[in-house]
Amino acid sequence: MFYDLKQGVWVLTGIVSLGVRDCGTEGIPGVYTNVREYLPWIKQNAHV
């Protein structure tokens, strides 16, 4: 998540549900979350 200074909005690019510290490590899968399903919760808890 980052704040886009040009647009004046917060941007969430993705969430890793399960993975290792070094994202994209060969032979170790990453599991990702559909952010759209959790936007109300994220907005409420991130206070943005």
Tell me, yes or no, if the pTM score tops 0.85.
no
- The β-bridge partners of 31 are 18
More confident residue, 8 or 36: 8
| CA dist., res. 17 & res. 35, Å (int) | 10
pLDDT greater than 80 at residue 45:
yes
Q: Which amino acid is it at 26?
A: E
